[in-house]
Amino acid sequence: MKKVKIGMAALALALSVYSADAQQAEHKNPNVRAGQQALLSGDFKTAITHLQKSLPAESADADVHYLLGYALFQNGDFKKAADSFTKVVALNPKNTSAYYYKAKANNNVAVDNQTKMDAKQRKTLLESSIADYTKAIAMDAKDAKLYQNRGTAYRDLGILQGNAGASYNKAAASDAYNKAVTDFEKVLTFDASRKDIQTEVKKAKVYRDNLK
């Protein structure tokens, strides 16, 4: 049984989608309640089991899909997590956190070498990830992690299109790297001391400048 203790900040983010009423009242579905408790204790596999049992009865509840997606994400089931967050944004298109996790999950799938996908499929996932981060930024332009992760997705798209093969496109790769730099530099406007982001800016420029 996989149990992981997660910090209060992560828990706050996981539960941030709830309305005030939802936070104050117990869910009527016992499987949702059990899933919530498992999630709070970091037992993601048990949370997944209970939350999945609550469906399809709770299929119209965006909060349930969000918690399932969060548990799947933390358990490393990124494709299924993306599917859950897709349902969240269909039910609640104003949920910036769901767009963030959907984008991050798809990015993780796109760059996983163990995933059986061709370059076109990976490109589609990365472009979807970028689009979702962009939607989230439109709703919350002051969240640095959205720019950071979109920058990472642009960088990964640049790597994909800059590698020799059927997906090679020098102009598109260069454009992706330039956009990655722009996003990473935006992060530095929030905190100029971030050495990790300074390094990402340098790396993206090196990758761009070394395109054949």
Nearest CA among 59, 53, 58 for reference residue 38: 53
Nearest to 182 by CA among 158, 160, 163: 158
Residue 3: the pLDDT is 42
Protein fold of 96-212: 1.25.40
Where do the CATH 1.25.40.10 domains begin and end in the chain? 1-93, 96-212
Coil, helix or strand at residue 7: coil
What was the pLDDT predicted at 178? 98
pLDDT of 104 strictly over 90: yes
Give CA–CA dist 107/180, Å, rounded.
14
pLDDT at residue 23 tops 60: no
- The pTM assigned to this predicted structure is 0.89
CA distance 122 to 81: 17
30 pLDDT more than 60: yes
88 pLDDT above the threshold of 50:
yes
Q: So what's the architecture of 1-93 in CATH?
A: Alpha Horseshoe (1.25)
